[in-house]
Amino acid sequence: MKGNRTINKWIFIMGFLCFQVAWSQTVFGKWKTVDDRNGIAKAIIEIYKEDGLMHAKVVKILEEGKQDALCTKCDGELKDKPVLGMKIMDDFEHNGKGEYKGDRLFDPEQGMTFRGKVWLDEDNENRLKVRGYLAFLHRTQTWHRVIEE
């Protein structure tokens, strides 16, 4: 009987470790954004899958004094809407090479939409590379995985 408990314990431990590895190697989850120009932590973004496509929304604003920010530079239906809860990525598709690409990467601070590409940093899967394209120019930010306890 004691041998069965030991085997069950090892099966549980191995299953838990496999789950942790699989979980940590995905773009899905919560990520902390940091301004690549001044190093200020800006927000927590949740990346999720819906209908087989990747989407993202702002779930927490970290920057001091901006928790109730409105999208003042936005046009149309987003004009003066709260940034908190705002969808910033829509319908990104997996390209089979570990990257997700889409035509709507939205920056509420600038009120601008870019084409985008998202992938895990090959040196550290707890860092996410998020690149926005405007014509032939691009800018890449590194986001940091939020490990919740």
* Alpha-carbon distances, residue 143 vs 70, 72, 112 (angstroms): 22, 24, 19
The tens digit of pLDDT for each residue in 127-141 reads 999 999 999 999 999
Does an H or E element contain 78, and which?
none
- Supply the pTM of this predicted model: 0.81
The tens digit of pLDDT for each residue in 56-83 reads 999 999 999 999 999 999 999 999 999 9
Q: How does DSSP classify residue 6?
A: H
Distance CA 85, CA 57 (A): 6
Distance CA 69, CA 111 (A): 13
User: Hunting for tokens 């069965």 — which residue is that?
Assistant: 4
Structure tokens at 102: 């889409």
The tens digit of pLDDT for each residue in 117-130 reads 999 999 999 999 99
Domains recognised in the chain with CATH numbers = 27-143 (2.40.128.520)
Task: Note every long-range contact of 60-68, with CB atoms under 8 Å and residues 24 or more positions apart, other chains counting.
Answer: 60/84, 62/32
The tens digit of pLDDT for each residue in 83-118 reads 999 999 999 999 988 999 999 999 999 999 999 999
